[in-house]
A and B are shown apart, each in its own frame.
Chain A
Amino acid sequence: MNTRTRRSILAGAPAAFGLAGLILSACGGDAGESAAPAAPSTGGAAKGAPVKIGASVSTTGSNGKTGQYQVEAYQLWAEQINARGGLLGRPVEMVILDDQSDPTVGTKLYEKLINEDKVDLVLGPYSSGVTQAVSTVTEKYKYPMLSAGASASDIWKRNYKYVFGVYSVAESYFYGVIDLAKKNGLKTIAIINEDTVFPKATAAGTAEYARKEGFRIVFQEQYPTKVTDLSSLITKLKAAKPEVLVGGSYQPDSVLITRQAKELDLNVKMLAFSVGAAMPEFGEGLGKDADFIFGPSMWEPSLKTKGNSEFEASYKKKWNRDPDYHSATGFAGGQILEAAVLKAKSLDREKIREALSTLETDTVLPGKYKVDDTGTQLSHIPVVIQWQGKDKPVIGPDAMATAKPKFPMPEWKGR
């Protein structure tokens, strides 16, 4: 071909490349299939038509890292249940898609799972934002859904009959921390949070509980997601002289707040973060600055709950890394679904819905699965961990504590 044609084709190529990229991202759902469905391992007597269980979980996007733990847990559970003979004798086939941490994509995917893939049952996505959105879809098609990755109580305030909580609600995340603060005679508290669904719910619940327990809220402010600088906020907060600081935050902002608190010499007696603190990377990224910081955790490997040590060992073996609490809640979702199906003795979704509303069962999570008539989780309570050197032992509630809390948090300068 002559130079002119070649040049024009070459010039077109990058445009096509870029256009392709644009189309791929706009397509959302189909572009994002994460892990392939787990092949049912037919050990034992699982045979017959597979039971398809669908879910969309964020494996890309801002919650991708956390969502990945939940996906791994779902797949581990499916593999194990198949090894035990499947669900009512039939092999389980997981169909897991990626919603890219986007609620809109999530709703499209659940529509697809229910209408096109014709899944028999569903499990929930990760994050309150996505869960709230997709629950409208599952409610419409009457698919009972265990929300194994969300906790904002708003999800259960809409009179829906088909959403069931696995985690305790976001509002209750800091109850253990407030209780500890009260026990140590503290009176003033500052609450800051990211302005998205889950942190807002955490902040609201904490504020209400703190007030009820006699605390004075000396400072409360929200900040935008993906914030790059909180020094002004911390400067103002410092002037209010709180004894306790609670951050309704995800990991990046938890790390940012800690760093800037140290830089601006903000000293409090207790510092706690909702999501970031319980993750191992918090300690790795902050080094010794993480010491003394508290955080709620839905699950810790040291707990002696149902099937926990086997869960931990098999997870590590299959995925080559330690599970975190999002893995545990995902796995618990599977355990609860299994218990409900066994109770209902059927795969009929109405019977399963019935079973889930009245079921009480143990899982790898602390406490028990039990919901009220709105589907809100009542008995799976978070434990409180505290960073003590390189470890983060459970320091409360007393029944599950493996170490004593170190109190108060010493001043930054003294360390």
Chain B
Amino acid sequence: MVTLVQVVVSGLLLGGVYALLAGGLTLIFGVMRVINLAHGEFLMLGAYASFFLFARLGLNPILSLFLSLPLMFGVGWIAQRVLISRVVRAPLLTSLLLTYGVSLALTGGAQATFTNDFRSVPFLSGALNIGELAFSVPRLVACVTALVLTGAAQFFLSRTRWGKALRATAQSADVALACGIDIDRARMIAFGIATALAGAAGTLTSFLYTVYPEMGKTFMLKAFAVIVLGGMGSFPGAFLGALVLGVIESTASYVTTTQIAEAVIYITLLAMLLLRPQGFFGVKEA
């Protein structure tokens, strides 16, 4: 029984990190109807930022977030302004191609600049023991950080003027424009936030996993699974979807094997698409 609780806890901690990545992805889709295939690469950039800030300045990853969050926000802002804005109202395929191209360019650029060497940040390790349960310290810290950031983003979206502007733009860009909302700016803010969140997810992975130019792809697959589960465009949905996915992955690995667990994740995805395609909180497209 204890082990099962342990497994579920591990899954929840895992889900926290997925939530951070998926949240941004779903935000971009919601506000701009763009599927950002380069999102994983922003995670990768965030991971490298964390690594270099640690290696050169000795900043631990959580502290380095104070530097990397605004930096990644800026990167996202510029990306939206210069590239993504051109495909916002275009057919979906165009945005897929563009973001895929960006993804390739970033991966290639990273390989050229950083080389393919594996890096990792020896930040935290070990576990916090509460009774018979062991909570991985790095994962706990990562999950708490993810929660704080996701919470802040959700607060922004639901309680601030600009947050409302973003949601309005997501609902209907034309009507939002007619209401006097600067939708171009709203999109830049959305992309900036999403990229900052992806970069933060990258920072967390830098001490949980190994950093290398292609690392984005591993997490993107999970992020897509999460947003389908949660509902494309729904920020809270992504959060719930991530936790659910983490628990499914963890429990399935325990009850069967890690290999079969991968299949279970995708079967769940399939089931969701068949039975409730809008996900947990998604809105059925009119």
Q: Show the binding face of A for B, using Cβ within 8 Å.
A: 10-11, 13-15, 17-22, 24-25, 59-62, 64-65, 68, 195, 221-224, 226-233, 235-236, 239, 251-252, 255-256, 259-260, 262-265, 279, 281, 284-287, 289, 412
Contacts and interface: CB of A to CB of B under 8 A. Distances in A.
B181 to A, nearest CB: 23
12 contacts: A18-B94, A18-B98, A21-B97, A221-B257, A227-B258, A231-B253, A251-B118, A252-B118, A259-B138, A265-B129, A285-B210, A287-B122
Contacts of A64: 111, 116, 213
Contact of B122 (A10, A222, A289): A289
A15 B98 contact: yes
A64 B111 CA distance: 9
A13 B86 contact: yes
Contacts of A68: 115-116
A263 B219 CA distance: 22
A388 B262 CA distance: 36
Give the interface SS of chain B, mostly helix, strand, loop or mixed. helix
A232 B105 contact: no
A226 B218 contact: yes
Contacts of B116: 59-60, 64-65, 68
Interface stretch (B3-11, B228-236, B270-278): B3-11
Given A68-B116, A222-B259, A263 B125 contact: yes
Contact of A222 (B90, B251, B257): B257
A281 B117 contact: yes
Nearest to A236: B254
Nearest to B211: A285
Contact of B208 (A17, A21, A259, A265): A259
Contacts of A255: 118, 120, 209-210
**Chain B interface category by residue count:** 35 or more
A222 B214 CA distance: 23
Q: Which 3 A-B pairs have the closest CB atoms?
A: A18-B97, A285-B120, A21-B101
Contacts of A259: 125, 138, 208
Given A195-B259, A224-B262, A232-B254, A281 B119 contact: yes
Contact of A235 (B3, B139, B219): B3
Given A14-B86, A228-B209, A233 B98 contact: no
Given A21-B105, A64-B111, 7 more contacts: A11-B94, A18-B98, A18-B101, A68-B115, A255-B118, A259-B125, A287-B125
A315 to B, nearest CB: 16
Contacts of B212: 65, 252
B258 A264 contact: no
B172 to A, nearest CB: 22
A289 B138 CA distance: 14
Interface string B53-87: 00000000000000000000000000000010011
